[in-house]
Amino acid sequence: MKVIKIEKSDLAAGLDKLRGGYRLFGPVKDKTSHGFQELAAGQAPDLAFQNTRLSPKNLVFPQSETLLAYSLDGNDPEGHIAREVDKDYSPRAVIGIRPCDAKALTLVKMNFDTDAFKDPYWLNLYNASTFVGLACDAPGGTCFCTTTGSGPFHEEGLDVLLVDQHDHFLAKVLTDKGEKLMTAAGFNQSADGDAAVEKAKTAAEAAITTAIVTDSLAAADPMALYNADIWEDIAFACINCGTCTFSCPTCWCFDIQDEAQGNKGVRMRNWDSCMFPLFTMHTTGHNPRDTKVKRTRQRFMHKLKYFVDKYNAGIMCVGCGRCVRQCPVNIDIRKVSALMNNVGDAAKCAV
Amino acid sequence: MENPYLPYPVRIDDIIVESEDRSLKTFKFVFLDPDDEARFAYKAGQFAELSIAGVGEIPIGIASSPVEKGFIKFTVNKAGVVTTHLHNMKVGDIMGVRGPLGNWYPWEMLEGKNVLIVGGGFAFTTLRSSIIYMLDPANRSKFKDITVVYGARTPGMLLYKDELIEWEKRDDINVHITVDGTDDPDWKYNVGFVPPITEQKAPQGDADSYAIVCGPPIMIKFTQPVLETLGYDHDHIILSLENRMKCGIGMCGRCGIGRELVCKDGPVFTLAEVNQTPREY
């Protein structure tokens, strides 16, 4: 695998060269926290961050997105007929995404890219993007990526992995897309960096000291987990605020709403959350998940059991730790998983 | 890439008031682009999103049958924002239909079998689609005995009354119509709730018999023990579930019952399958 050396002093100039062929996105500090946004001309990504407060899922799955548009004019021969809207799917480069968040997008892709249906909005943005990852040298105290099937130097979902070497980056070029981007940026100084990258990787993985225990989840009887007596305690403090789902890089649930003013309207989708009662409320008023206990259980069962059973690709969590840090009542997915795992130990599937 | 969120444009071709309280209307649609009809090829038991620009979408079972050509039909209960808007639309209005969505009754498995259909209230739409499909001359010989138990609160609340009366007279289908109650002295069918009428009229279950059950939760609850007593195993009892839906294609996440999504993995499940899920519907 090709490794390229990029002097930090050359990074901004290289990124500027990309602008002819790519829209650039990267972490930017806004008051107290970092978030991914489009980089204006001359604006460099701020790579001095641990991770962004919200995940970068909005880059391929905007919080609000127009799906279709229509005229409501009765005299318009196209009136009341929904049509696709023009979208910019020109190449994009995402600079500085953390490996956990890139891995998260590969998990979410399983939902939007199926045999039966393809979500064109998600997939077009994903496919238009080249992901330049930034390896984590100093993981946070709530990071547990190494026990989720991800890691601080995990390469899945990335086209290039940047490894910080003080005055320069070592760039592992992982895909053709990544190769193309490096060429376009004029980064071509080959380096013999494998040993340095491995050393940094080993150190970073050792710096992650907390874990999520999931070994008994796959074999557990789903109904035994569902009916376990752990959920009242887990959900006791939950206020169903939805912070966990909105900050989570693997949460993808959405709502579809029409918005119309005068003779024009759009159908759009907006992030939604299983924490909200309206998410499942029937028109009759009947609500299958009518209590916060049921909604809290749904979130953890989806991430740690239903997804595991459905895709056989591990848990729907990459260990970024955002929900752990940002939950206002300190609900911790690691503790929940441990409780579920205990139930799983006692209730293995008969099959 | 095909866009699964893009509805086919349709024109309302006819509107039939089905029930005496006017809460149920059947909408007949024709595709503006005749080629869309072939793209919409469906099987009995599937649903579609009825899509009204500026208002929204609703998932509704397809009441027309695959053997009926040139149109599609849906019977809609006036209940929420979109259904109320639809009830106020008129013949000639333009809207959209997105689908077909979800799975269907297991027609290949049902071939060569006795089929018992138990329906209640306005959950008779995909059952109508199924009956029309099975009675089609090209299909009738594929099935053994067909029995239907269908009930509503009053005679005026029964769907598709003309067809019911016609089926009732035929000898290749056993139709048992019932109402919870009526003061009509000329009512010549059954009076009683669906579960006891099923108990009296339905044939015994065996390895060659399947029951398809659609109705309000209370009807399903009391029909289940009746079917068990009659000898229908849980993997021979077929249900069609409903849940709040948006996308209809298994992506938006809200209609999940465990790992299954009602919109994509269902809406048709056997009772044996439903027993393995949290019943969050």
The DSSP annotation for A265-290 comes to EEEEEEE--TTSGGGT--TTS--TT-
Cβ B236 vs Cβ B214: under 8 Å: no
Helices (H), B40-186: 81-87, 107-110, 125-135, 161-169
Please state, in angstroms and rounded to a whole number, the distance separating the CA atoms of residues B102 and B90. Answer: 28
Residue A70 and residue A122 in one domain: yes
Instruction: Name the residue of chain A whose CA is nearest to B248's CA.
Output: A117
Mean of per-residue pLDDT scores for chain B: 96
Please state, in angstroms and rounded to a whole number, the distance separating the CA atoms of residues A53 and A30. Answer: 10
Instruction: Name the residue of chain A whose CA is nearest to B52's CA.
Output: A80
Q: What is the pTM of this model?
A: 0.95
B243 neighbourhood in chain A, CB within 8 Å: 280, 282, 288
Residue B137 and residue B57 in one domain: no
Which domain-ending residue is among B100, B129, B160?
A: B100
Cβ A333 vs Cβ A145: under 8 Å: no
Residue B62 and residue B120 in one domain: no
Residue A25 and residue A171 in one domain: yes
Residue B163 has pLDDT above 80, yes or no: yes
Domain interval for residue A149: 2-207
Give how many domains chain B has, as a whole number. Answer: 2
Residue A46 and residue A117 in one domain: yes
Low-confidence ranges of chain A (pLDDT < 50): 351
Residue B217 and residue B232 in one domain: yes
The verdict on residue B251 lying in a domain is: no
- Output the CA angle B89-B92-B95, nearest 5 degrees: 65
Please state, in angstroms and rounded to a whole number, the distance separating the CA atoms of residues A95 and B101. Answer: 39
Min Cα separation B171/chain A (Å): 39
A274, A283, A304: best to mutate for the B interface, most B CBs within 10 A: A283
A81, A122, A316: best to mutate for the B interface, most B CBs within 10 A: A81
A250, A253, A259, A276: best to mutate for the B interface, most B CBs within 10 A: A253
> What are the C-alpha distances in Å from A308 to residues A11, A109, B101?
40, 15, 25
Min Cα separation A62/chain B (Å): 14
The verdict on residue B279 lying in a domain is: no
The verdict on residue B263 lying in a domain is: no
Which domain-ending residue is among B77, B100, B123?
A: B100
Cβ A252 vs Cβ A108: under 8 Å: yes
Closest in B52, B249, B253 to A117, CB measured: B249
Which domain-ending residue is among A167, A182, A207?
A: A207
Share in percent of chain A as helix, strand, coil (round to 5) = 35, 20, 45
**Which of A16, A100, A110 lies closest to A50 in space, CA to CA?**
A100
Sort A261 into a burial class: Cβ within 10 Å, 0-12 / 13-18 / 19+: exposed
Cβ A289 vs Cβ A275: under 8 Å: no
Instruction: Tell me whether residues B258 and A306 touch, CB distance under 8 A.
Output: yes
Residue B224 and residue B196 in one domain: yes
Residue A108 and residue A11 in one domain: yes
The verdict on residue A245 lying in a domain is: yes
Share in percent of chain B as helix, strand, coil (round to 5) = 25, 30, 45
Which domain-ending residue is among A179, A207, A235?
A: A207
Domain of B154, CATH number, reads 3.40.50.80
Residue B69 and residue B37 in one domain: yes
Residue A125 and residue A197 in one domain: yes
H or E element in which residue A235 lies: helix A231-235
Residue A45 and residue A98 in one domain: yes
At residue A351, the pLDDT reads: 47
Residue A238 and residue A163 in one domain: no
The verdict on residue B246 lying in a domain is: no
Residue B157 and residue B87 in one domain: no
The verdict on residue A322 lying in a domain is: yes
Residue B111 and residue B229 in one domain: yes
Residue A184 and residue A236 in one domain: no
> Before B66, cis peptide (omega within 30)?
no
The verdict on residue A108 lying in a domain is: yes
**Beta-strand pair B47-52/A264-271:** unpaired
At residue A1, the pLDDT reads: 72
Closest in B2, B54, B281 to A288, CB measured: B281
The verdict on residue A23 lying in a domain is: yes
Please state, in angstroms and rounded to a whole number, the distance separating the CA atoms of residues B92 and B158. Answer: 27
Residue B126 and residue B36 in one domain: no
Min Cα separation B278/chain A (Å): 7
B101, B273, B280: best to mutate for the A interface, most A CBs within 10 A: B280
Residue B95 and residue B143 in one domain: no
The verdict on residue B277 lying in a domain is: no
**A319 CB contacts (<8 Å, ≥6 apart)?**
A100, A143, A144, A145, A146, A147, A148, A150, A212
The verdict on residue B47 lying in a domain is: yes
The verdict on residue A167 lying in a domain is: yes
B258 neighbourhood in chain A, CB within 8 Å: 222, 226, 301, 306
The verdict on residue B17 lying in a domain is: yes
Residue B78 and residue B133 in one domain: no
Instruction: Name the residue of chain B whose CA is nearest to A304's CA.
Output: B259
Please state, in angstroms and rounded to a whole number, the distance separating the CA atoms of residues B241 and B261. Answer: 10
Domain interval for residue B15: 8-100
pLDDT tens for residues B208-251? 999 999 998 889 999 999 999 999 999 999 999 999 999 999 99
Residue A70 and residue A188 in one domain: yes
Instruction: Tell me whether residues A260 and B246 touch, CB distance under 8 A.
Output: no
H or E element in which residue A206 lies: helix A194-207
Instruction: Tell me whether residues B242 and A282 touch, CB distance under 8 A.
Output: yes
Residue B226 and residue B114 in one domain: yes
**Which of B14, B96, B80 lies closest to A265 in space, CA to CA?**
B96
Instruction: Tell me whether residues A283 and B54 touch, CB distance under 8 A.
Output: no
Instruction: Tell me whether residues B93 and A80 touch, CB distance under 8 A.
Output: yes
What three-state secondary structure class fits B76?
Answer: strand
The verdict on residue A128 lying in a domain is: yes
Please state, in angstroms and rounded to a whole number, the distance separating the CA atoms of residues B130 and B211. Answer: 12
Instruction: Tell me whether residues B53 and A80 touch, CB distance under 8 A.
Output: yes
The verdict on residue A216 lying in a domain is: no
Give how many domains chain A has, as a whole number. Answer: 2
Domain of B52, CATH number, reads 2.40.30.10
Cβ B1 vs Cβ A124: under 8 Å: yes
Please state, in angstroms and rounded to a whole number, the distance separating the CA atoms of residues A132 and A32. Answer: 24
pLDDT tens for residues A305-329? 999 999 999 999 999 999 999 999 9
Instruction: Tell me whether residues B280 and A289 touch, CB distance under 8 A.
Output: yes
Residue A247 and residue A202 in one domain: no
The verdict on residue A310 lying in a domain is: yes
Residue A43 and residue A190 in one domain: yes
Residue B140 and residue B229 in one domain: yes
Task: Give the number of beta-carbon pairs within 8 Å between A and B.
Answer: 135
At residue A346, the pLDDT reads: 84
The verdict on residue B254 lying in a domain is: no
pLDDT tens for residues A112-138? 999 999 999 999 999 999 999 999 999
